Structure 1
Amino acid sequence: MFVDQVSVYVKAGDGGNGLVAYRREKYVPLGGPAGGDGGNGGNVVFKVDEGLNTLMDFRYNRHFKAKRGENGMSQNQHGKNANPLIIAVPPGTTVVDEESKEVIADLTTHGQEAVIANGGRGGRGNSRFATPRNPAPEIAENGEPGQERNIKVELKLLADVGLVGFPSVGKSTLLSVVSAAKPKIADYHFTTLAPNLGVVDTADNRSFVMADLPGLIEGAHEGIGLGHQFLRHVERTRVILHVVDMSSFEGRDPYDDFVKINQELEEYDKQLMERPQIIAANKMDMPGAEENLQEFKAKLTDEYPVHSISALTKDGLRDILFEIADTLDKIPKHSNVIEDVDEKVVYRYKKEETPFTITRDSDGAYVLSGTKIEKLFKMTDFAKDEAVQRFSRQIRGMGVDDALRKRGAKDGDTIRIMDFEFEFIE
C-alpha cells in the first residue's frame, strides 16, 4: 500500500532529575553538596533513507516517544544523556506542525537529518545552587519536559518526470512500456489510485525516474477527486510530461483537456507553469487521431514540444524519451526544491509568548496556564521546602501575584496549575 500523508504524535525525552546529596567521607565532617545533574532527554530525529518510498511504517505506529535522561547521582556524577530516537523516512518527506502550520523540515537527500522535537535538559543538582549564604542547599531541579507536538508527515515523490493528464489517457500504459514498472491498467477511470515510479533507460544509456500519477479532474486544486494527493507530487518533478488522448475516444476535445489540466496546475501552484512541459499526443494508432492532432497544434498558443506516440504500439517513444533526457540535462537536480538564498543569517521576528494566562473555572478557582509557567512547575520538586520557596519567588518575579490581585484574588482563594491546587496568601 502506498501511504503519502499521515498525522503523527512525537514526544522528546524529558531531562533527568537533579539530586540532593552531600559528601559523606571519613574525616570530612562538613562535606557540602554533591548532588549531580540529570542527563538530557533524547531528541526525536527524522533521517532520510533512500531505500524507502512510502510512509507505510507510520500507518501502524503513530506515536513516537524518545527516552528520558538518567537522574543525577551522588558525588556530583552527571546522569547519562538519552540517545536520540531516529526515525527513517523516504526522500521527499515534508514535516509540518499541525498547530502552527509551520514547516519543520523538508528532507530530500539520503542521510539528511532533522530534529523534530527537542529533548529536555537535565535538572540541576543541589551542588549547582550552593552560595556563600547557603553553602548546603536542600534544592534540586526536576528535568525539563521534552518537546511534544502533533505533526503532519507528507511525502512528495522525487521523480524527474511527472505524467499528467485526464484519467484513462494512457499514462500507466506509457510507464509500463518505457520502464520495468508494472502499474495496474484497466479501461476505467481512476485505475491508478497511488503514484507509481519507474526508471526509464534511453537508447543512448541515459536514465531518469518517471512517475505515473493519478488522473486529474476539474477542481483538483480544491481537493476534488484525488486533488491535493495528486498535485503534491507534481511539485517535486523537474519536467512535466503532459499526456493527451488524441483519439477523442470518450468524446472530449484534446485541446480542452490540455487547457483544463494546466489551469488546475496553475491554480494549485503558479510555479508549476514555469516547469518545462512536453506534450505526448497519445493513441495515434486510433482512427481520427491525426486530424485531431492537426487541430490541436493549430490551437496551441505556447511553444511546447509535441510528440506523436502510441503507448500501445510503442511508436514515437524513442524520440520523446530523447527529448525528455535532453531537457533534464539542462536542469540541475532538484532545482525546484532548493532555492538560491543569500548566505546571510536571516532573523525572523517571533512574537514573544505570554509567560502565563489567568482564567476562572466554574467553581471560582483561578487557573494559571502557559508554556513557561507550566514548565517551571514541572521542574520544581515540591517535596523540598527550599524548592517551593524558589518557585514562589520565580512566579512572583513573573508578575503572577500582581496579576491575580488585579483579577480580584483574595486571601484563601484557590489557585490551580494543571491538576494541582494552591491557596492564595497575601
Structure 2
Amino acid sequence: MQFSELLTNKSILKAVAEQRFHKPTLVQEKAIPAILKKKNVIVAANTGTGKTAAFALPILENLFEKQDVEKVEKQIKAVIVTPTRELAIQILENCKDFSKYTNLRATAVFGGVSLEPQKEVLAKGVDILIATPGRLIDLQKQGNIALDTVEVFVLDEADLMLDMGFIKDVKLIESLCPKKKQTLLFSATMPDKIVALAKTTLKNPVSIVIEPEETTAKNIGQLLYYLPKKNKTDLCLRLLRNTINGKIIIFRRTKFGVDKLEQTLLKNGYLATSIHGDKTQIIRNKAIEDFKNKKATILIATDVAARGIDITNVDAIINFDIPNVAETYVHRIGRTGRAGKSGISFSFCSPDENNYIKDIEALIEKPIKVIVEHPYVINKPKHTKKQPNTISKNKKGRKSEASKKKKKRWY
C-alpha cells in the first residue's frame, strides 16, 4: 500500500513524498482511515512504529478543507498533548514538514524555556497546538490559550504521561475542550489507569492494537549476557573496544547511573554524552544534536528522557540495565534497525534481573540469544520460558484449566 491510497490531498502527499515516506507502516495503515472518518480512536503500538504520522497526516488532511487564509486570525482546531519537550519538538517538526504546502500553522509550547516567545507565536494564531501539560495549563490560565474551538484532541504517549504524573492535568485540559470533538489516544502500553481514562474520554472508539511481535524488527540482532552486576561496566568497555562500532545508545535505569557511566566513558576516551530528566532543556538539546551530528558517538539515557526522540542511523543499543517492564525492551531495541537497515542490541543481565528477561522473552515469544564466551559469564538461570497461546490437553482430550485462561487484553 502507498500513502496515495490513504490520503487524497495533493499538497500533503507532495510533502510526504519529499520526506521519502512511501509505504505506510502498519499502525498508519490501520489508523489513518479511521481518523479521516473523524472517529474516536485508541491505538496501542510500540515506540518507533510511526504513530506521529498516523495522527498528524489525517488531522492535516481533515483541517485542510477549512483552513484559513494567511491574513485571517487563526484559532486552535487541534491540540496534541505529549509528555516531554523532546516529543513536542519532534511532533512539531513532523507537522511542519507535512503541512509545508498548506496554510495550516502549528506551534509547540513546553516548559524549560521562556514563556514570552511562545506567547508571541500564540498571539499570531495557530491551527495546531502541540503542548506538554504543565506549560499548556500555565498559558491557558494566563489567557494566552483558548481551547473552545478545538475539533481534535490527541493524547500522545499516554502511558508515559501516566508514569510522569500528568493524568490529572490531561483530564483538566480535556475538560477545557468542547464536548463535541474527535479524541485520539495513542500509547505504547495500556495499563489499567489508561484504560479507565480512555473509557471516560472516548465514546465508541475504534481500537487498534499492533502487537509487539509485529513490530520487533527482524533485522535487529538480539544478544544477551549473564554476568554479575559489578562487572557490567567492564563488559561495556570490552565490547566498545572490540565489538561494537558506530552510533550507540546505552540505556540505564537511573539518572545517577547515566551520569556515572558517562564519566567512566569520557575518562576512557569515548565521545559520550547523556540525557535525563535533571538536565536542562538546553543541555539535552545539545546532547541530542551532538549525537545526531556524530560529535558524540555514544548517547547514554534513561527511558523517560529518550522516549519518542527520533534519531536515525543508530547502529547498536546496549541495555546496561534490563528494563523491569517488558514492553520497554521492545521500545529500546526499536531505536536501531530502522528503515530497513540492520541493527543489534546487547543486554546485560545480572542475577537480580533474571525475571525481567523471562517476561521479555514471553512478550516477544522467542528466546534471546545468550553469549557464553566472555570473561564475566555466570550460568544462565534455569527457568521455563512461557509459551503463549498454546493449548494443553489432559488424557481425556479436554483442555486443562490452565490452558483455558486467556491472555488479558485491554480492549
Shorter-normalised TM range: under 0.3
Q: Which has the higher contact order (CA 8 A, sep 6+)?
A: 2
TM norm structure 2:
0.23
Q: TM-score, normalised by structure 1?
A: 0.22
Q: Which has the higher strand share?
A: 1
User: Which has the larger helix fraction?
Assistant: 2
